Every structure is written in structure tokens, then in C-alpha cells.
Structure 1
């Protein structure tokens, strides 16, 4: 079966520093993949390469059999939460999401956005500007913007950061439901062992810019 995403000997350098070194792996559709490693190991750079936010210095990245390195095409149906979510600080959460929804090719209704906000414990009618949000609220809003347009691929870099225990449980259940009912492919990084153990079908270890170990299904 053709892999959904494939890295082929991918290296990424910034000036004289090699951050990702000769990395190869494959992602199948409809599974949850965990990437673990210390801060600075290269996980976020791998995620940005998948999302098309960076291009490799060497090697190739394939999506559905097409070389997106040479074509420079973005993955069409992608939701991502990478690093700190960025929003217009003086707008409310709902207004921020409405603007982002208007830019998407897979637009959803206002009601659907509201439902996702409520799922995450956010009040869509709250007019408070995002600049007044707590870290946890900003994280929840970032998750909503990643999932609200029902993407085929979700990239989530430490999605549970700043979330309370009940929100973490809700998100775990939701991610499993996305995989099982919508065949969504999810790629995530987490320092929480429970996230990895509960969610992931397969696990990659990133050590100093290299993929050192690939574990079988957990």
C-alpha cells in the first residue's frame, strides 16, 4: 500500500547547523503517530517540514506518492498546532476563528465552530480579546483552529500543554474518535507518557536530529 507521507533521506540545515540528519520514515493514513524526544531534538522541525512551512536542505518528502519537495505544493487538507498559537490579540476567540475559517477551502458553519469551542470548554459568545486569555485558553483555541475544518491530517505539537485534566481526557477521546470514525491521520509530539500510550499506534524517537528507533504498535 502506498504510504500517505514519506520522508526519504531528509536533512535540514540552518546555516552551519544540521538540525535534521538523513531522516527516513513512512506514515500510513488513518493512524496516530507519536514523536518523542528532548526539547531541541528536531521534532518541531520535522512537523514544519511535513506542513510545508520549511523545505529540506537534502532529500525528498512525498505525500500520496507525489514529491511535494520539488512541486512545493502544500498538503491540501491539513490542520496544525505547532509551537505557540498565533491569533490577532485584540479580537475575540470566535472572531479569530471566523477569519481563519473564511480562508479555508473546507469552510464550516458558524454553528460547527461554536460546537468545537464548547467541546474545548470555551464560550463562543465571550467577547474578551485573545490577549486576555490564559495560556490554557489560548491552547484550547489553537486546538479548535487546527480541527475545525475537519482536516485529513492533523499535526499537533504538544497539544495538551496548559490543559486541565478534564480537557486532556476530552481531547484524547476526541482524537481517537477522529482516527476511528473519520480516518484522520494524526501526528503528535507529547512529553506526557500517557498521551503516547493511550493514543499512538506507532512511535518514533527523535534523538539529536536523527530517528534512532521506531517502535511497533503500542
Structure 2
């Protein structure tokens, strides 16, 4: 169930059976659903009525696959959340989807109920229920506003995806502590199990946006054999709530 107006979800899949099943489950979960069978149609529908989330198949007919569509959606609509469907379970497919900005992925064949839960999780983060004001998180030139879901470095706004924002917020809330990949997957993604390469890909993307030199990261450090740590440097104010 969702608070406020029903979320608008665009389902992009050329398999009519899959699209119908997914649309049916999402509708029963309280979403309004539109469908498209190819990339150009999906982009046209997104332009006509911006959805709250897109469920996007990686393999689409014609010259525009799911990766192309995801890139175009990111270019045209910024932080529009995308849950990608991959027909194969190969790690390369999942990583490619995450690299172009997908917020989550589900591998075919999948449980429609699992997909609904993933969609619900993403929507919960992008359409938060009104809460008491939370102060911004500030450290090392970074400022995150959890309520407005805006982030900046040295006053310049960062174009972070949903998961990148949540990942950075979690690290800022736990400065100096080694956070295991499994913990990050549980706390940021809400997954009790899954492929930890998802975390690795998002850390790489996040470093490219917040580090002065992503090849030599100073803020998000690797803790070998464990995970990652947001570094608090001597002489600097410890990361925390402003």
C-alpha cells in the first residue's frame, strides 16, 4: 500500500504475457500502470506523463535496448527511478544496468511478488511519507538534505541516483566505521541476501561524483575483506548532523 496519490509506473517489456502479469500485480498493489513494448514508445510515454518509476526490460526489440532507454530516461528526466529486468542472470548484465543508472534489478524468471516488493522499496525512498524535519548531514564539503533528497559538494549539486543518495547518507551517518557490503545491502537496499557486486558498482559510481580523484579515493575508502568506510580526517569536523 502507498501513501498519497497512486504511484504511476511505466512497464516496458515486449513480452505481452510478462507485461500483463507485472501490470496486474502492480495495479493490485495500488499503482496506476502504463505499458510500452519498445524503447521509442517508452520514451514518448514518459515524456507525455512522467512516471514515478519505470520497470524496464533489458532486452527490447529494434535498435534501442533497455540500456539505451535507461540512459535516455536519465538524460531527459534526471532521477527517475528505474528497476531493470534482466533475461539472463549473468553478472555482466546486472552490472551494465547499474552502471547506466538503474536503481534495482530483478532477474528473469522472477516472482511477480518479489518485483512488487522491489518496486515498493524504491518508491518508499522516492516518495517518502511526511515526517518531522531531519537536519542535513554535512562532512568534508558534502551536504545531504534527507527531506528534500538533495546533495551537494562544495555548493555544487550532485546528480545522485536513489541508491547513490541512500548509500552516501548511510556512510555519512556512520563515519569512521567499517561497513560490510552485506550490511550496506541490508540497510540501503533492504535486501537480506543478494549479489554484493551491486554495492561495489554503486560505490564506484558514487566515488566518481564525490571524490576529487576517484582512482585514489580519500572519502569512501575500501576496507579490504570487509567493505567501505567514510573517512574522518584529523583536523576536520567529524561527519554528522549539522
User: TM > 0.5 between the two?
Assistant: no
Normalized per residue, which structure has more strand? 1
Which of the pair has the greater relative contact order for Cα pairs under 8 Å at 6+ separation?
A: 1
Please tell me whether Structure 1 or Structure 2 has the larger radius of gyration of its CA atoms. Answer: 2
- TM-score, with length taken from structure 2: 0.29
- TM-score, with length taken from structure 1: 0.32
Normalized per residue, which structure has more helix? 2
